[in-house]
């Protein structure tokens, strides 16, 4: 994890959970972050990588802290489904 992200998480008091990069386990970013981000970027075209980075920063800067709180808190029920299914695939 990048130092800037670690500082941000620490500032808001979030606990950092270990998660392997290529793990098949559920990650909050898989279902809560990338869906809304994909919808936001849908149909956009960027001439340069800097234009894309600028749009991403703008999107993240304008997210309410509750966006992340809801995503993290909803992990509990998703993890429980995974446990109940003995690790089988969990879809919403």
What are the boundaries of each domain within the chain?
40-92
Q: What is the pTM for the complete model shown? A: 0.57
Q: What is the mean pLDDT of residues 9-37?
A: 74
Distances in Å between the Cα of 64 and the Cα atoms of 13, 48, 60 are 15, 27, 9
Instruction: Give ∠ CA 30-82-36 in degrees, rounded to 5.
Output: 20
pLDDT digits 0-9 by tens, 47-66: 999 999 999 999 999 999 89
């Amino acid at each position: 994890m990048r130092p800037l992200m670690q500082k941000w998480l620490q500032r808001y008091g979030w606990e950092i959970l270990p998660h392997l990069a290529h793990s098949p386990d559920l990650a909050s970013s898989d279902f809560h972050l990338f869906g809304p981000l994909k919808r936001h970027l849908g149909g956009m075209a960027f001439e340069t990588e800097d234009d894309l980075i600028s749009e991403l920063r703008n999107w993240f800067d304008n997210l309410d802290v509750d966006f992340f709180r809801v995503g993290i808190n909803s992990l509990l029920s998703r993890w429980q489904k995974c446990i109940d299914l003995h690790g089988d695939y969990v879809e919403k």
